[in-house]
Structure 1
C-alpha cells in the first residue's frame, strides 16, 4: 500500500513539474513581447477533415487588451479593442456593434495572442507534446472545466520560436485552424491603431450586456 501511495505521489509531482515546465516555456515564447502583427489564413475542418469557410486578413495586438483584427476575404469585417470596448464593424451592413471589453478579452485565442499565460494556465492544463532540434514545438491546452469551455482542445505550433498555427477543436469534433504569416514582434505601430470611430451613417448597436 505504501509503495502504491508513493508511486501515485511521484506521478502527481512529476505531472505537476511537466505542467509547470510547459507553462514556463510557453510564457517565454509568448510573453516576451509587448506587441505583434501578422497576416492570417483561417479555415474550419469538420469531423471528416473537410476544409471549409476560408477567410484571410491581418491583425495587430498589444498588451494588455488591445487588438485590431481585419478580415479581408471572403467579406470585410473589422474588430477593434481599445482596452475599454470592442468594436465590430461590418461595412457591408453599415453596422457597428460595441461591447464592453471586460470578459470579452477572456477568450482563449485573445489570451494566447496577448501572451496572458498566467491567466490561461488557470483555465487550461498546458502540455508540451512534441519538440525537436529543428526548432519546431507543439503545445496542447485542455480546459480544466470542460463543461463550461468553448473548446475541448487547443494546439499551438511554434517554428523557430514563433507561433505559426493555432488549432481549436470543439465538442462536436469541428476544428478551426488559424495559420499566421509574416509574424513580427514589437513592430512600429501608429498611435491610433487601436482607436475606432464609427463611420458616418453607420448604425451603432450597444451590446445589452454592458
Structure 2
C-alpha cells in the first residue's frame, strides 16, 4: 500500500518537548529575514550539522488526537529509525537512500526517496535550512525559545516544518509539521542521548518477501 504525502508529513514530525511549542500559524507570505534571523538560522544549521548519532524516546501527537510513543535513532548522514511501541504496527527506517514505511498489519512496505521527505532535512549530510531546495519562511522567538519555520522553495504551499530550539542549552526540542490541509502534527523527544555507537543493523530493512527498488537519480 502506498502512503500519500499528507500521511508521510504527519508521520515524520519528530523531536520535542511539547510545553515549548508556540501556537502554530498558517503559512503566509515570506518576510525578508533580518540580520538576527540569518544569524540564528546559521546557528541552528551548525547545531544540526554537529549531530552524528542520537537516540531518544518520543511521543507523536497526531491531528486526530492520537498519541503514539516509541524510540528514535539517528545516524547522520542518511540514517534514521522510528521504532513505534505496540500496539502501533508502524516501523520507519531511513537507510541512506530511501525512507521505508512498514505497516506490519498491511504487509507491503513503502519506499520513498529520502530526499523527497521531511526526514531528509534532519539526516542530510549538509543541513541548509535556507538553501537551494528549502527556504526559511519565518523566525520567531519567545523567552528561551527559537522557532524556525521552513518550506520547500519550489512549492511552499505543500506545508511548513517548524523547528523549535531551546536557548540554554541550545538544542532542538520540537519539530511541528503544518500540512497543505492545515493539519498539525507534533512529536516530543525526551531522554535524549547523543554521540553513542549505534548498530548499523538498526538502519537496515530486510524482508525476503519484498525487493528494494532502485533509486532513480535522474
Q: Is TM > 0.5 for Structure 1 vs Structure 2?
A: yes
Deviating above 6 A after TM superposition, structure 1's stretches of 4 or more consecutive aligned residues are none
Tell whether the 8 Å contact from 1:131 to 1:137 is kept in structure 2 after alignment.
yes
Mind listing any 5+ residue stretches in structure 2 that lack a counterpart?
1-30
* 2:154 matches 1:124: no
Q: Secondary structure at the match of 2:202?
A: coil
Deviation of 1:109 after TM superposition, in Å, equals 3.9
Rounded Cα–Cα distance in structure 2 between residues aligned with 1:150 and 1:196: 29
Q: Which has the larger share of strand?
A: 1
Mind listing any 5+ residue stretches in structure 1 that lack a counterpart?
1-10, 46-50
Rounded Cα–Cα distance in structure 1 between residues aligned with 2:123 and 2:145: 17
Tell whether the 8 Å contact from 1:44 to 1:176 is kept in structure 2 after alignment.
yes
Specify whether residues 153 and 117 from structure 1 end up closer, same or farther in structure 2 by C-alpha distance, changes over 3 A only.
same
Deviation of 1:21 after TM superposition, in Å, equals 0.5
Rounded Cα–Cα distance in structure 1 between residues aligned with 2:83 and 2:48: 21
Alignment of 1:118-157 (within 5 A): 118=128, 120-122=129-131, 123-125=134-136, 127-130=138-141, 132=143, 136-143=144-151, 145=153, 147-152=155-160, 154-157=162-165
* 2:85 matches 1:72: yes
How many residue pairs match? The answer is 183
Tell whether the 8 Å contact from 2:178 to 2:185 is kept in structure 1 after alignment.
yes
Deviations 1:6-26 (A, max 9, x none): xxxxx96xx352342022110
Larger radius of gyration: 1
Q: Secondary structure at the match of 2:201?
A: coil
Specify whether residues 53 and 205 from structure 1 end up closer, same or farther in structure 2 by C-alpha distance, changes over 3 A only.
farther
**Higher RCO (C-alpha under 8 Å, 6+ residues apart):** 2
